[in-house]
Structure formats: C-alpha cells, structure tokens
Structure 1
Amino acid sequence: MDGGVTYGSVNDLAADQHGDLYVVGSFHEAGGDDNERVAKWKQGAYWAGNVAVGFDNYINAVDVSNKDKVFVTGKFKEFGSFGNEVDRIAASTIAGPFWHALGTGLSSSGQTLMSDVYGRTYVGGHFALVDGISCHGLVRWDEDHWENFEPSMYFDVAGMVSDENGVFYGAGDFSSSELGFDVDNGVVMYDGEEWIRLGEADHVIDDIALDTAGNIFIVGTFWNIDDTPAYHMAKWDGVYWHGINVPAYYKPRQVIVDGDNNIYIGGSKPDDNGYWDGFVARWNGLYWVDLGYSFNQKTTALAIDTFGNFYAGGEFDNNSLNHIAMFSEQVTPFPAYPPKLLVYDEEIDFSDEIQVFPNPAGEILNVNVPGKLSAIVFFDITGKEVLSIQKPKNEIDITSLNSGIYFIHVKQNEKSKLFKVFVK
C-alpha cells in the first residue's frame, strides 16, 4: 500500500461510509508523509497526505460514526505543535486534519472504541474519570456530552459491537457487587436498561463481532465458554454457545464479518522454527481457509471498506508491507445499518396492574391487565421485532417463537411497559 506506515506499527483500523480507511498506531509516517500516529487511505488507492501532525503518544483505537466524526483514543495527551490538550480521547470531522478535545478527556488510556446506529460512541479503557466525572472503564459520548453507565459497575472491556437497533454487546470483565453481577472473561449485552450475561469463558476473550443474522462471534485464548468446548472461537445464536475450533496453534486476536457472513480472524501462529508469525484466515461456516500469506509478526487489526477492500494491520514489516496490507481479492462489504434518531417515548408504569406469566413460558403467555390491551410486541435479544399483535387477547400464542430471551412491549392506550420473558 504505497510504502505503508513507518517508524512504528498499526494498532487499529476503521472504515468510514465513504470508502476511506483510517489507520492508527505508533507510526510517524504513511506513504512517506508525516502522519503522526493517524493516517487515511483514500478510496482504496492512495494515502491522503497530512491527516494529523503531532499526537504526542500512541493511539490504541479508532472508529468513525455515521455522522462522519472520527474518534481516536490511546495514551496521547497533546495534539499539534502548540500542545493542544486532548487527554487520551479526541475527535475530528472526516475532512480533518484538526482534532479537538471531548471535555477534559480521560484519566488514563482508552483501549477500544465503537459507534452505534444513533451516532453515539462508546469508549472502553482503564480510566476512572471522564471529564472529571467518576466512572469505571466504560463511557459513551453523545453529540456534545459524556454519559456514564451504572455507577456501581466496573468494566474491563476487550471488545464492543452494536446491532441495528443500538443494542450494546461487550466482551471482557463486568462486575458490580451492588447489583450481584459478576462476569469474568465473559460476554454481556446492554439493552438500555439492564446488563444481561450471555456467557463466560475460561480464559481471555479478545474481540467480538456480529453477523447479519444477529449471531455473535468471539475469539481469544479460551477453551470453553459456559462448559461448551470452544478452542479459541465461539458463536452465540441467541440461545446457545457453539464452539468453532480454529486451526491448531493459531491464536486469534481479531474477528470481523463480511456481508456474506464469512468470518475472518487475525492474530499469530507459530512458524516452522518456533517463532510467532501473523496470519489472516476465513471461516465460511464449514471450513477454514488460510488466506495464503504469512506475516513475519502478528496482525492487530482487520477492516473492510465500502468497496469490499479487505485490510490487515499489525507489527509485520516483511516484503515491504510495512505494517498494513490489502488483500488481493475484494469481499462483500458488511451492510451499513441505517442511522437512527433517539426518540424517548413516554413510558407510563402500570406494572402493579399487569401480570405476565408463566416465566419461563411454553406455548402460551398470559397477559392479565384491567381492560383491553392495545398491542403487544416481542423483540429478540438483538432488538429485532419478531412478533407484533394488535388488540391481542389475554392468552398469547407464542409457538412461533424459538427458545430464548425476549423483551415484550405491552401497550394499553397511553400506558406501556417493557417486560423480559424466557421462552422454553
């Protein structure tokens, strides 16, 4: 890729909705031009020139929101020749190259970033303060202000992803003695109201991804998740975990999905002499295909742009690749989720007047409420609407639903309430 990046390596990659790729890490040049730790590869063809000069330390993560804002986080504290303070988190428009602070920043390094369909950006790391507000390793930036989560919850987030409805999924450690919630090396979801445990592995989970069907994929150095054997990779189908064994001795650290639901992983593997090389491999649902190139050091990031160009970044520097490479074949891009606006419907609590039973439910779910119901809507754990009934009877036939967790929105005229039900 036209000389790659030099004087440092690549930590993360992110593609915007216009086909440009953002590259971050510890490097100082891209394509021979000064680009201090962040660079832009334009339209799958050339380096954009000076995107940023003067981040004073390395960048761990980058993401681009659907509102064309670029976010970076890492160990840096200043930007530019005048030492503008951007404590460990900064943002810019896709036009660049000027970066600005988000409040007073983070108290310690940010490790990972993720933007959802509402344009909100999640930041995970080892910080205890954001903009002077107490927090515990996970916060969210919404347009012009920071939002904290459950104050008693402690986070150590390795990877994050969000679905088409803005539901958050995270991999890492999540705990709260106050809530009685403790998940180590696990996967959780946050539906906007509560944290839900999806699974817990016996060792580290490094990354997480979603496919177009709402299945969750995780990779790491684990061997089991919830007692299901899974050698370094697993899939959650909404009800159960399934192991997807990676090739022997491979250590995947990244996972990404294309528009055909092929799964790509990257990381490190041993060579014939016992040294650790980098790799990228593809899982098509039946078997693994090594994409045929052995990098001399590990890969640390994968990305697919809107043109279908597939990229790998990392510590490798063999054959003049210089820490970043583009695959020789194009793949199908993952479909972009349509942007959504946050609408806060007024919810009137009438939980004392309503009964939803049994829970868990079998073929029939009973909803008892004084008077007649206006509607009842069922959503699966990905936030997808799966059943909607207008003016339902009190006995709801749910035989069309698969086993799993559902959220049901019960409406009666101007009153509404959300309930969680498990279907057997």
Structure 2
Amino acid sequence: DALPITVNSLAIDAHGNLYAGGDFISAGGIEVNRVAKWNGHTWQPLLTGVDSIVHSLILDGQGNLYVGGNFRTADGVDAKSIAKWDGVRWSSLGDGMNSAVFALAIGQDGSLYAGGLFNTAGGISANHIARWRGSVWSSLGLGTNDTVNSLAVDRAGQVYAGGSFENAGGGTAKGIARWDGNHWNSVGNGVSSIDGAQVRAIAVDDANTLYIGGLFEIAGVTQANNIAKWQGNGWQALGSGVDSVVDALQIGPDGHLYAGGSFSTAGNRPSVGIALWGSVDRQCGLTTSSYSFLASGRPVVVNIRVPGTIDCIGVEAFNRVHTWATPEQATDHYWEITATSSTGHPATGYTVDLTLPTTFTPDAEDTLCRYADATWNCAASSFSASNKTITRNGVNHLSSWTIGNSGQSWYLPYVP
C-alpha cells in the first residue's frame, strides 16, 4: 500500500531496506508515526516512531539511522528535533535543537552535520548548522544568518550548506556557503532572484563538482533557472534549467544528476517532477517510436524502413524552435533521428514515414526535411491523406537528420 500524506526523505541501507520519513501516521495499514521501514515485502514501524514531522533521514557507515525534523520525542524518548535509531531502540543526541532540523549529512570522519531553523544545539549557540561527534554538539563558526535547507560533504571533507541565508561566518554568502573545517567561504556570488532566492538541494559528484537546486534565477552572474553547477572557478547553467522549484538532487551510479521538484519542464522539455541531466546512450530496440503532442494522447509515429541491416536506432521528439529553421518551419515539431552500429549489409536508402493522428490530415505543404549545409532540404517528400502519412525516400544518413543540442541535455528518466 502507498504511503498517505507526505514523504519528505528516503534512505536505503546496505541490505536494501528502504526508510521513509515525513508527515504520515500509517504505512501499509500499520501505524508507524512519521518514519517507517520497507523490507521488500512489508512496511515496519520503528517502535512508536516520532511525535511530529520528519524532514530528513541519513544512514552512517554502521547502519545507524539519523532522523531530523520538528518532533520532540522518539518512542517516548526526549529527542528534540533529532534522534538516532540503531535498529533496536531510539536515542537522543545530547539535548538536541531548539527548533526544526531540515538537513543532515555525514562527514568523511563519520561526524554528523545538521542544518535547519535552530540557533542552539546541545544548549550551545549554533546558528542554523551544527556538528555531532558522537557525544557533543559543536558550532561551525558563526553559522549562517538564516535557515539551512540542505547539506552535502565533498570528498575532501568540506561541508556545503544551502538555504535562504545571505551570510555565513559573518561574510556574504548568498544561499550557498562552504565550510573548510575552520572558516566559512562564499561560493562565487551565490544565487539571487527577484522574489528571494534559496537553495533547497545540494549534490557533489566524485569529481567534486557541486550541483545546487532550489528557487533562483541567477547563480553568480549566470542565468541559471533553479539549478546550477560549480566546478571550482565559476557557476554554470545546466541548459535552460527547470521552470520551478528543485527540492532534491541525487548523483546516480552512472554519474548522471537526477533532479526532483515541483517543475513541469526541464530543458524546455515536458518533465513533470523529475528529470536527469547527462549524456544518455541510446539502447538498441525497435525501429518505430511514437510521441504524443496532443492533450488527447493520440500519437505521432515515426517509422524508419531500411533495405539493409542496422543494429541500433533512436527517435526522439521535442516541441521547440530549431535554431536554423526557416520562418515557415519555426513552429513545427522536430524529430531527432540517429542510428549507430550498422553490421552486415550496410543500410542505405532509408524511407522515413511520419504517421499523424486522426485529427491531422497532411497535404502538399507538409514535408519531412533534412538540415544540411546550412539549408533545409525538403525534396523527395510525399504525403498520403488517406493513410495520414508523410514519407521521405532516399535518406542515406540518419545522423544528418539530427536536430538538437549535442553534449549534455535534460531527459525524462525511464522508469520500467
């Protein structure tokens, strides 16, 4: 059964068990109180859970689960905004915090970092960020002047904090700051927005590239819609970004960046709530693909027929203006067609058929065009009004039909 209400954080242990935390009372019909474990078959409670919202979960190298949120007790144990589950029982981390914990991270030495709305940790002054070394809380300098929403630690042990603050350690740091173990440092000029910027998610890859997501329009001096990356000397946009807030970032095992949030497009492509950034390898498969650009869901089918052999082919559709399109084609739909790994008898003289939905009837004005030598070539196209098809014969190089950006792009992840 699905979890009702809201799930704010997930964590997976070394045995493949999934932990979920958020604002829910039951899971799978079992009372769990805001934190639960999925063992692959059933949901299980962690004793009686916690008494209010969970915002963040993280596991350490020993399999201990740390839970941050806005609660006061865990299974009846006094645990102000943060608690530890060792697989058997709950325990507090000192005197906890005086307000909500929104983010958790584990350092290279096993230290636990917590960020949030609080300004004391374990009874000492700790402005929105603190460190737990197993027995005592400590501050990170002067901390930040406002809420910390996200944390990450790079391979060098440096801590990145993101939030709605404008200074860290007494110096300017707009939305994002780096703790080097002794001092706070700004990361470029940070982020900005007309409506007030905030960083809500951080990820660092194996090359120590820093990715941030949230609600902002500018990173440093670069237009970067709600997501950006830092590679040590400047902020860079990730294409055209996404059209609304990014709440989560994760580096996958393949090195691709996954983004989650309340957006509906990524890189100007439809992508509701989740997208990945990277160079995606096409998989061999059928030579027919369909794409729906109608609210009714009726598909447009692209079919490639070849008189030779071909191992791998891909068709991708997107609705946007091609950079070099002629004025007459500026509002059309474009298909990126690529083929790789031909073996045996080489495939030549491809025939490309475009089958339209029943709501469209092609005529002599409709063509399949190839962009080459800085011009559009629309010759050798024909149409069939009765079959709803547009056909282009004699296509010898599918790669020459590629329309789109090379390199890294936004994609909608494939979910089997």
Normalised-by-shorter TM-score class: 0.5 to 0.7
Structure 2 residue 112 is the aligned partner of structure 1 residue 112: no
Q: Which protein is bigger by CA-based radius of gyration? A: 2
Cα distance in 1 for residues equivalent to 2:65 and 2:411: 33
TM-aligned CA distance change 1:182 to 1:266, over 3 Å: same
- Pick aligned residue for 1:279 from 273, 279, 293: 273
Cα distance in 1 for residues equivalent to 2:125 and 2:245: 35
Cα distance in 2 for residues equivalent to 1:59 and 1:270: 26
Q: Which has the higher contact order (CA 8 A, sep 6+)?
A: 1
Structure 2 match to 1:357:
none
TM-aligned CA distance change 1:153 to 1:29, over 3 Å: closer
Structure 2 match to 1:269:
263
C-alpha distance after superposition, 1:112-156 (max 9, x if no partner):
111122111111111122222122111111112112121475352
More strand by share: 1
Structure 1 match to 2:352:
none
C-alpha distance after superposition, 1:320-368 (max 9, x if no partner):
xxxxxxx43xxxxxxxxxxxxxxxxxxxxxxxxxxxxxxxxxxxxxxxx
- Pick aligned residue for 1:192 from 163, 181, 188: 181
Structure 2 match to 1:35:
32
Q: Give the drift of 1:87.
A: 1.3
TM-aligned CA distance change 1:248 to 1:9, over 3 Å: closer
Cα distance in 2 for residues equivalent to 1:188 and 1:14: 25
Structure 2 residue 57 is the aligned partner of structure 1 residue 59: no
Cα distance in 2 for residues equivalent to 1:47 and 1:130: 36
Cα distance in 1 for residues equivalent to 2:84 and 2:58: 10
Q: Give the drift of 1:4.
A: 2.3
Cα distance in 1 for residues equivalent to 2:59 and 2:65: 4
Structure 1 match to 2:167:
175
Structure 2 residue 15 is the aligned partner of structure 1 residue 18: yes
TM-aligned CA distance change 1:133 to 1:123, over 3 Å: same
- Pick aligned residue for 1:9 from 2, 6, 10: 6
Cα distance in 1 for residues equivalent to 2:209 and 2:116: 25
Q: Is the 8 A contact 1:71 1:89 kept in 2?
A: yes
Where does the alignment leave 5 or more consecutive residues of structure 1 unmatched? 272-276, 293-326, 329-424
Where does the alignment leave 5 or more consecutive residues of structure 2 unmatched? 266-270, 280-407
Cα distance in 1 for residues equivalent to 2:80 and 2:242: 41
Cα distance in 1 for residues equivalent to 2:143 and 2:202: 24
Q: Is the 8 A contact 1:113 1:122 kept in 2?
A: yes
Q: Give the drift of 1:51.
A: 1.8
CA RMSD of aligned residues (A): 2.3
Q: Is the 8 A contact 1:10 1:24 kept in 2?
A: yes
Structure 1 match to 2:376:
none
C-alpha distance after superposition, 1:269-308 (max 9, x if no partner):
359xxxxx9521111141111236xxxxxxxxxxxxxxxx
Q: Any residues of structure 2 matched to 1:398-409 within 5 Å, and which?
A: none
Cα distance in 1 for residues equivalent to 2:101 and 2:213: 21
TM-aligned CA distance change 1:90 to 1:169, over 3 Å: same
- Residue type of the alignment partner of 1:288: W
- Pick aligned residue for 2:79 from 65, 70, 86: 86
Structure 2 match to 1:165:
156
Q: Is the 8 A contact 1:36 1:52 kept in 2?
A: no
Q: Give the drift of 1:19.
A: 2.4
Structure 2 match to 1:253:
247
Structure 2 residue 68 is the aligned partner of structure 1 residue 77: no
Cα distance in 1 for residues equivalent to 2:240 and 2:36: 32
Q: Give the drift of 1:250.
A: 4.2
Cα distance in 1 for residues equivalent to 2:241 and 2:207: 25
Structure 2 match to 1:386:
none
TM-score by length of 1: 0.61
- Pick aligned residue for 1:223 from 217, 220, 223: 217
Cα distance in 1 for residues equivalent to 2:159 and 2:13: 20
TM-aligned CA distance change 1:231 to 1:67, over 3 Å: same
Structure 1 match to 2:377:
none
Q: Is the 8 A contact 2:94 2:122 kept in 1?
A: yes
- Indicate the percent of aligned positions where both proteins have the same amino acid: 27
C-alpha distance after superposition, 1:369-416 (max 9, x if no partner):
xxxxxxxxxxxxxxxxxxxxxxxxxxxxxxxxxxxxxxxxxxxxxxxx
Q: Give the drift of 1:198.
A: 1.1
Cα distance in 1 for residues equivalent to 2:166 and 2:110: 24
Cα distance in 1 for residues equivalent to 2:142 and 2:234: 30
